[in-house]
Structure 1
Amino acid sequence: MKNILRPALVLFFVLTLLTGVAYPLVVTGVAQSLFPAQAHGSLILQGGKPVGSALIGQNFTDAGHFWGRPSATAPMPYNASLSGGSNQGPLNPALVDAVKARVAALRAADSGNTAAVPVDLVTASASGLDPHISPAAADYQVARVARARGLSVEKVRVLVAQQTKGPWLGLLGESQVNVLQLNLALEALR
């Protein structure tokens, strides 16, 4: 029994040190040195203090800010500890009612806007935390934000264009706008 138990225990401790200590330390060191912003949560700092993460949406509700995608997290929106979608399909009456209510809220906030409401302003993402909207969703809100802030529509539209990021390497993904970064740039105009 001793001949079997000793090698098994030695192998257990060696593998524990390699896979439980050495490997995580190496991976963490590489991540910290090559991708420091991502390794620290992609935090957005303002005045040296974190104001949010570029990876998690925030709940902007006033007319002077751009609004992000609806959040499916409960009991409060954009709760990172409760990430998850609503799991409601397109034929689910609850989703249809929620989308109708969101469209009505957008129309009420900007009654003069007769453009089609972009789908990402009325449907939650799979995680319920998406911090990005499409350029069309940002453009839909330009007039409301400009009016609420007393800015020209053209000035706000230029700001949206500056904050729009194209597909990765020009090929992968779609153009998108980070709502937190756009709203911080909007605040910087003051």
Structure 2
Amino acid sequence: MLNQLRPAIFVFAVLTLLTGVAYPYAITGIAQLAFPYQAGGSLVTRDGKVIGAEIIGQNFDSARYFHGRPSATTATDPNDATKTVPAPYNAANSSASNAGPTSKALIERVQDDVAKLQAENPGAKVPVDLVTTTGSGLDPHVTPAGALFQVPRVAKARGLDEARVRRLVEDAVEGRLFGLIGERRVNVLKLNLALDALTG
């Protein structure tokens, strides 16, 4: 029996060392050398302090800032551990709402969001990404149309010329990877930092 167990234990130990130790350390080391910024979490700093990550959205609710997409992430209810409460952009609990297109709660939430946005920018078509969530709930980007839609509100709140804010958005548009992959997009955190730099 020991003759049968010994090879199994040996293979288990070797594979554990290879796939559980050597491979992860090797890949981490290569990533740190080749892509240190991305491997470190793509952290964004200002005045020496980390203020966010380029790849994880965050909640901006002031009229003075561009807003990201709605987020359906949740956190444990501090009053009842068996329940959850909304916690937008909770990176510890990436998730979607899982509400289907016939969900009454989803339809009402989208209709409310559309009404608020139409009041903010009357006459303009509301971009779909400003009222729909992503699968992760952590998307750091909006479409160029989603950012441009917000220009009048941001310009008014900051006392800036709309054309100047529009140029800032247009300069912040990121293209497709290799010109083929993905969609044109605007990183909300980077845009808001550029906005702060513009207004001092």
Q: TM-score, length-normalised on structure 2?
A: 0.89
Matched with 1:93 is: 104
**Structure 1, residues 85-139: CA drift from partner, whole Å, max 9, x if none?**
111222222111001111122233x2x5310100110111111111110000111
Matched with 2:118 is: 107
1:127 to 132, 136, 140: 136
Matched with 1:20 is: 20
Give the alignment of 1:97-176 within 5 angstroms.
97-108=108-119, 110=120, 112-176=121-185
CA distance in 1, matches of 2:102, 2:160: 41
Offset, 1:179: 0.6
Tell me whether 158-167 or 11-20 shows the greater mean CA deviation.
11-20
The reply on whether 1:77 has 2:91 as its aligned counterpart is no
SS state at 2:150 partner: helix
**Structure 1, residues 46-82: CA drift from partner, whole Å, max 9, x if none?**
1222110111111111111101100101231110112
SS state at 2:186 partner: strand
SS state at 1:177 partner: strand
Gaps of 5+ in 1: none
**Structure 1, residues 13-33: CA drift from partner, whole Å, max 9, x if none?**
222222221111111111111
Offset, 1:39: 1.1
Are residues 3 and 91 of structure 1, via their aligned partners in 2, closer, same or farther at CA, if it must alter by over 3 Å? closer
CA distance in 2, matches of 1:27, 1:2: 36
Structure richer in strand, relative to its length: 2
CA distance in 1, matches of 2:174, 2:96: 25
Aligned length: 188
Matched with 1:43 is: 43
Residues 118 and 124 in structure 2, CA contact (< 8 A), matched pair in contact too: no
CA RMSD of aligned residues (A): 1.4
Gaps of 5+ in 2: 75-85
Q: TM-score, length-normalised on structure 1?
A: 0.93
